[in-house]
Structure 1
Amino acid sequence: MNFKQLEAFYWLTRLKSYQRVADHIGLTQPAVSARISGLEASFGVPLMDRTQAEFTLTEQGHEVAEYAETFLNLSEALTSRLRTKQKKRYTIGAVGMVTKTWGVTLRRKISQMPEGPLVDFHSGSNVDLRQQVRSGALDMAFVTGEAGLPQIQNSFSVLYRIGWVARPDVVGEVTRPLTPDELRELPLILYPHSSPLFGPVADLVEETKRRPNARHTGNSLGTICDLVRLGYGASAVPLAALEQEISTGMLVELPTTVQLAPLDVRCVHLNKARKAQTEEIFALARQAAEEWATAHPRYVAFRPA
């Protein structure tokens, strides 16, 4: 088995024609056929069901197709990384809480670096960023502990207080802390299963028990904040993301009898191949996080290494 065989098989699963594959990768049809035959011979199993009139993969073919796609993605990521290095680009991945708060300060600090790199920010969920870290597409990544990635030793952390918020016209006048049962009675905006807040919120309001009011779902922190602003319902969010709206009275923070644990954001990946540049940017990230937390102590706390 070799990479060229996997490449030909991958495109065959997509294009479903030897001739189209040949045209796509610049080979003759017999050459493509030879690569596919060689791949099957190396595994000792057929990858396509040739008894079918239409292009059909065998069970083993489906498994090989998944691995072929992974190999091609890794190859593309490596090529992109090498080209990026030549162009002095640097890529930082961060969950939405970071890009909406101290990430803005970090971006400004990086832009002030003399002859600094061109930095791309990728804002996404733990799941999205975990995949990008593993594929080598990121130079630095900040996620919550639930991402399942080993954290960088001696890394700082930022704690985000989680609280319930809503528009006043959605919840009315709240004069005392609400119990989980009372929260359940409200129209709620919930998180997707991939979010670290999905489990704690669903457990608190016992979503499996009953749903007496509307239930909405946002696919990102930004979307959930928008839904709260528009009056779809109440939601548990990192309060720093809506600090301005709370301070102006557009939204109200709901007191509750049970508090959700804060989310802890840390660095989980540093590109060792770009050591000097990475250390410089990481130092700026630490400064940005500490400055932002100092300026917004109500909802954010900075923890040194």
Structure 2
Amino acid sequence: MNFKQLEAFYWLTRLQSYQRVADHIGLTQPAVSARISGLEESFGVQLIDRSQSEFTLTEQGHEVAEYAENFLNLSETLTSRLKAKQKKRYSIGLVAMVSQTWGVTLRRKIAAMPDAPLVDFYAGGNVDLRPLVKSGALDMAFVTGEAGLPQIPNSFSVLYHVGWAARPDVVGEILQPLTPDELRELPLVLYPHTSPLFGPVAELIEETRRRPSARHTGNSLATICDMVRCGYGASAVPLAALENDIATGMLVEIPTTVRLAPLDIRCVHVNKARKVQTEQIFQLARQAAEEWAAAHPRYVTFLPH
């Protein structure tokens, strides 16, 4: 398998014609066909169902098509960044919790720099940011420890306390901390399998057992928080994301007998080739995180290293 084969297959899934693909990428039709056949041979499976009169992908073809699109998107991102004149742009990846908290402070601090660089922020989950780090598309990245990427030396951590929250009308009057079994009885808003919170929450409430109440799933932290606000159910979240809602009484923090481990956000990548600029931005990130944690001590802890 190589990039040219994936590129040809990607455009074939879009244009659904060997000739149109050939015209688009500047090849002959036999050359396109050879790349597709080579890709199938490398995987050992058929990607196109040739028994159908219309262009049809096999089940394996659909799966490869999704990866091909992701691969080409990463390639395009990396290429465009490398071609940026004198690398004036700077890219920072942030997990969603950071983008909603001290990431806002960091953006303002960068904007106040003399000759401030043009910074692109990429917000997403570990699963979104990990390939961008590995491809070199990001100059700096802050993710949770579950991403499997080593923390850079002399860095810092921000611990986001994870707790349960819900609307008062969902949980009623709480007289004592709830046990995991009592949490299971509630309607719950859960995380997708790719989230670092999916495993700890599912293990705590033993989701493999009978589910006595409704189970909903949000595809991002922001969506889950909105679903909790709308009354779909209770959820375990980094409580800093709901601090204002809890303070106003719209939501309540649910006391529990068993606590979940905090989310540990850390810097896992810096562009060493841009040493001066990277050091300046990294120090601003440290200041932003420390200031925000000091202003919100109930749910956030700053740990210098």
Identity, in percent, stands at 76
Alignment of 1:227-246 (within 5 A): 227-246=227-246
Gaps of 5+ in 1: none
Q: Which residue of 2 aligns with 1:216?
A: 216
- Structure 2 residue 33 is the aligned partner of structure 1 residue 33: no
Q: Which residue of 2 aligns with 1:197?
A: 197
CA shift for structure 1 position 163: 0.8
Question: What is the DSSP-based 3-state SS (H/G/I as helix, E as strand, rest coil) of the residue aligned with 1:203?
Answer: helix
- Which residue identity lines up with residue 268 of structure 2 in the other structure? V
Classify 1:177/1:66 alpha carbon distance in 2 versus 1 (closer, same or farther; 3 Å).
closer
Kindly indicate whether the alpha-carbon contact (under 8 Å) linking 2:18 and 2:33 is maintained by their aligned counterparts in 1. Answer: no
- Which residue identity lines up with residue 278 of structure 1 in the other structure? T
Classify 1:226/1:70 alpha carbon distance in 2 versus 1 (closer, same or farther; 3 Å).
closer
Larger radius of gyration: 1
Aligned CA RMSD, in angstroms, stands at: 3.1
Cα offsets for 1:152-188 (capped at 9, x unmatched): 1221000011111111121111121111111111111
CA shift for structure 1 position 151: 1.9
CA shift for structure 1 position 150: 2.1
Partners of 2:283 and 2:151 in 1: how far apart?
Answer: 16
Question: What is the DSSP-based 3-state SS (H/G/I as helix, E as strand, rest coil) of the residue aligned with 1:237?
Answer: strand
CA shift for structure 1 position 33: 1.8
Kindly indicate whether the alpha-carbon contact (under 8 Å) linking 1:8 and 1:32 is maintained by their aligned counterparts in 2. Answer: no
Cα offsets for 1:225-279 (capped at 9, x unmatched): 1111111111111111111111121111111111111110001111223222111
Partners of 2:169 and 2:67 in 1: how far apart?
Answer: 52
Q: Which residue of 1 aligns with 2:248?
A: 248
Question: What is the DSSP-based 3-state SS (H/G/I as helix, E as strand, rest coil) of the residue aligned with 1:231?
Answer: coil
Mean CA deviation greater in 118-127 or 72-81:
72-81
Q: Which residue of 2 aligns with 1:83?
A: 83
Classify 1:244/1:68 alpha carbon distance in 2 versus 1 (closer, same or farther; 3 Å).
closer
Number of paired residues? 302
**Normalized against structure 1, the TM-score is what?**
0.86
Kindly indicate whether the alpha-carbon contact (under 8 Å) linking 1:4 and 1:35 is maintained by their aligned counterparts in 2. Answer: no
Alignment of 1:89-238 (within 5 A): 89-238=89-238
CA shift for structure 1 position 49: 7.8
Partners of 1:64 and 1:252 in 2: how far apart?
Answer: 45
Gaps of 5+ in 2: none
Kindly indicate whether the alpha-carbon contact (under 8 Å) linking 1:77 and 1:135 is maintained by their aligned counterparts in 2. Answer: no
**Normalized against structure 2, the TM-score is what?**
0.86
Partners of 2:215 and 2:66 in 1: how far apart?
Answer: 35
